[in-house]
A and B are shown apart, each in its own frame.
Chain A
Amino acid sequence: METILSVRDLTVAFHTYAGTVQAVRGVSFDLKKGETLAIVGESGSGKSVTSKAIMRLIPNPPGEITKGEIMFEGRDLVKLSDKEMQKVRGRDIAMIFQDPMTSLNPTMTIYKQIAEGLKRHQGLTGDDAKKRTLELLTLVGIPNPEARLKQYPHQLSGGMRQRIVIAIALACNPKVLIADEPTTALDVTIQAQILELLKDIQQKTGTAIIFITHDLGVVANMADRVAVMYAGKLIEKGTVDEIFYEPRHPYTWGLLGSMPRPSDDRSQDLPAIPGTPPNLLHPPVGDAFAPRNQYAMKIDFEKEPPFFPITDTHEAATWLLHPQAPYVEPPVAIRDLALKYRPDSTFAKSLLKGGLK
């Protein structure tokens, strides 16, 4: 598959009164045409900052992209002027924010809000704009769209509003859609509808999606590939099956293990990740996860691990993959899930020395 967006060594800092917050610390990934890449990680790990950086929406001051490039169709978005970037935003790359109410204008009708983008990017006005608006509302599953045109956001339910936000994002057939926790504020039922909708639209339009969430259930449902983020860095990347069934990084184990599953034995404690995420004002030396990592070795506190490749599509930044690393067994819950579907999983064998590979 053809790569449409390529992020290299993206580094974003915020200069605050307390010091410099290193929110994103050298993130690299590729997004391919028509795929969904999920970025997961706990609160404050830099997911939103990464996506805002791609949209060039980092407030400056206090924020700044200090390093890296974001290649899109042969151009580095980091180097574009504000005016050039405005053309990219909305037309080529669009974003859905978490809270539908903050991204809609409460004083404007639904029609006006959608038509605005159509006019700006495609020069559509009058009947053409109206026709396209109705098309979009139908696409996002709004019943009786004609009647909605003159309504205001507060007259719609939360799920409907999020559909309008999606319609606005899709107005210009963007090549890349960034969805930052688009369903976190919604009910499971409405969430399910929105996820189905996004998949359906992707099939029809071939849009590539970057899907940001901390809900691993949603990831399992939506993603083709997954990037796991911790303390401003990606620490593991792979296909959705590789991340769920053959995860390699202890943080990914922790994240997967702490999600309850209906089959869990309720008399057992949930395997929680101890401690709290590091302070990005003073990111730790070495592997940022080391202080919370029961498998941490001496080197983890001294030197940052590089990415070790596992397959063509799977890599993880942990010293455990170093050929000289000791034997380590992943947690039982992780192995059990892997073996349920992958009897030939590498987890079936007793792990080789440095042999998480």
Chain B
Amino acid sequence: MEKRSKLLEVKNLKQHFNIGRGRVVKAVDGLSFDIYEGEVLGLVGESGCGKSTTGRSIIGLYDATDGEVLFKGENVHAKKSRKEKLKFNRSMQMIFQDPYASLNPRMTVGDIIAEGIDIHGLATSKDERNNRVYDLLETVGLTKEHASRYPHEFSGGQRQRIGIARALAVEPDFIIADEPISALDVSIQAQVVNLMKQLQRDRSLTYLFIAHDLSMVKYISDRIGVMYQGHLVELCDADRLYENPMHAYTKSLLSAIPLPDPEHERTRKRIIYDRPTGGAVGKSSEDSSIPPLREIEPGHFVSMTDAELEAYQAQLV
């Protein structure tokens, strides 16, 4: 894995929000991780731990408070010329959680999808533009007849497909998907996840896949990062994380997932996480008590203090 090239490098990223009266929310507070070309990195954690903020900060929707994000070696947050910005916008796209809110209701589906093609001048004629739109619609399992219709005429799953087609239109290398399936129905979730996986394979895309449905994340991701209060507490190969979770928070998170299997549910034992003192307010307290990641076995990183290292090593199986 170390041989693969890094597409994205996140270095000590901090994203704080001033919420008035001198109060600050440290939504993301010192994140470091890399995403390799062609991989799917899953990001999980409880509500409010900073997953969306991480995604939005990476794509440059916010000015980072501290740290840096390198995409293909270039700093995302650095001042760029208009041309550089356009190029960057083209290579990195985001799919949003809410398929209802993220599509302009007054535009036809065809125009929504073609917006990026127009902005980046990717088509030389009207015919070429339309043909690209039709191709994209077909890629995501819709038909060219859908191009002239409006978002409200589509179901949630179909709208999410339109969102995916829009993201693909500019031929990005990297897609940040922020809970792309949470708003969808069970039976439709599988359709969309299959589509995303297939596109990733066919077009060697790289994804940051944010979600709270842990089973789905495991299914789509190569590696998974577990976030807690603005920090990563564990980062590991997806299968390995489920097989041998090390951080107490990861253990508690995994043990809380109900599986569609009654026998398993009758015997499942939930592990309760002892929140470090400060609890939910820890975010706004001055020093965060979450130590940095350390590599405990190749490719498996756990947040720990020096003192805890030995105990963790004993846990390795």
Contacts from A to B (Cβ < 8 Å):
42-43, 157-158, 186-189, 191-192, 195-196, 214-221, 240-241, 244-245, 254-256, 258-262, 264, 266, 269-274, 276, 337, 341
Give, as a whole number of angstroms, the nearest-CB distance from A241 to chain B: 6
Contacts of A270 in B (CB 8 A): 190, 193-194, 219
Q: How far is the CA of A2 from the CA of B100 in the complex (A)?
A: 45
Cβ A271 vs Cβ B190 within 8 A: yes
User: Which residues of B have CB within 8 Å of A258?
Assistant: 186-187, 189-190
> Which A-chain residue is minimally distant from B194 (CB atoms)?
A269
CA distance A195 to B268 in the complex (A): 13
Q: Are A43 and B156 in contact (CB under 8 A)?
A: yes
Closest 3 CB pairs of A and B: A217-B258, A272-B190, A216-B260
Chain B residue with minimal CB distance to A239?
A: B262
Choose one: A195, A196, A215, A272; the contact of B187 (CB below 8 Å): A272
- Within the complex, the shortest CB–CB distance from B21 to chain A, in Å, comes to 17
- Taking CB atoms, residues of chain B closer than 8 Å to A273 are 187, 190-191
CB–CB A261/B260 < 8 A: yes
B84 at the interface (CB under 8 A from A): no
Residue picked from A192, A260, A337, most chain B C-beta under 10 Å: A260
Interface residue count on the B side (C-beta < 8 Å)? 42
Q: Are A42 and B186 in contact (CB under 8 A)?
A: yes
Are B215 and A262 within 8 A (Cβ)? yes
Contact with A along B287-314 (1 / 0, CB 8 A): 0000000000000000000000000000
Mask of B42-68 contacts with A, CB within 8 angstroms, 1/0: 000011000000000000000000000
Contact across chains for B215 and A272 when beta carbons are under 8 A apart: no
B residues bordering A, Cβ < 8 Å? 46-47, 155-158, 185-191, 193-194, 197-198, 212, 214-216, 218-220, 238, 242, 252-253, 256-265, 268, 270, 273, 280
**Contact status B257-A217, CB under 8 Å:** yes
Query: With a CB–CB cut-off of 8 A, which chain B residues contact A219?
Result: 260
Report which of A158, A186, A189, A256 forms a contact with B253, defined as CB distance below 8 A: A189
Contact A220 B259 (CB under 8 A): yes
Tell me the bound Cα distance from A220 to B259 in angstroms: 7
A214 and B186: CB pair below 8 A?
A: yes
**A266 (CB) vs chain B CBs: closest residue:** B219
Inside 8 A of B197's CB, which chain A residues have their CB? 269
Is A42 a contact partner of B187 (Cβ separation < 8 A)? yes
- Closest chain-A Cβ to B223's Cβ sits at a distance in Å of 12
Q: Is B260 touching A217 in the complex (CB atoms < 8 A)? A: yes
Min Cβ gap B97→A in Å is 13
Say whether B194 contacts A189, CB under 8 Å. Answer: no
Query: What chain B residues lie within 8 Å of A245 (beta carbons)?
Result: 262
Cβ contacts under 8 Å, B270 to chain A? 192, 196
Given contacts A42-B187, A217-B260, A255-B186, 7 further A-B contacts (CB under 8 A): A42-B188, A188-B257, A192-B258, A220-B264, A241-B262, A245-B262, A261-B260
22 A-B contact pairs sorted by A residue (CB < 8 Å): A187-B47, A188-B214, A192-B256, A214-B185, A215-B186, A217-B259, A220-B261, A220-B262, A220-B264, A240-B262, A241-B262, A244-B262, A258-B187, A260-B215, A262-B215, A266-B220, A269-B197, A269-B198, A270-B194, A270-B219, A272-B190, A272-B194
Do A220 and B258 have beta carbons less than 8 Å apart? yes
Q: Are B261 and A261 in contact (CB under 8 A)?
A: yes
Chain A neighbourhood of B193, CB < 8 A: 260, 270
Shortest Cβ distance from B216 into A: residue: A260
Determine how close the nearest CB of chain B comes to the CB of A250; give it in whole angstroms: 12
Residues of A within 8 A of B268 (CB): 221
Contacts of A189 in B (CB 8 A): 46, 252-253, 256, 273
**Assuming A214-B186, A269-B194, is B260 touching A262 (CB within 8 A)?**
no
The verdict on A221 contacting B212 (CB below 8 Å), with A42-B185, A260-B219, A261-B260 known, is no
State how many angstroms separate the Cβ of B79 from the closest Cβ of chain A: 38
Query: Cβ of A215 and Cβ of B191 under 8 Å apart?
Result: no
- Say how far A279's CB is from chain B's closest CB, in angstroms: 10
In the assembled complex, which residues on chain A have CB atoms less than 8 Å from the CB atom of B187? 42, 254-255, 258, 272-273
Q: Closest residue to B45 on the A side, CB-wise? A: A187
Closest chain A CB from B202 CB (angstroms): 13
**Residue numbers in B under 8 Å from A260 (CB-CB):** 190, 193, 215-216, 218-219
Determine if A188 and B186 form an interchain contact, defined as CB atoms under 8 angstroms apart. no
With a cutoff of 8 Å between Cβ atoms, the chain A residues found around residue B216 in the complex are: 260
- Greatest chain A CB density within 10 A among B194, B214, B261 is at B261
In the complex, which residues of chain A have a beta carbon less than 8 angstroms from the beta carbon of B238?
266
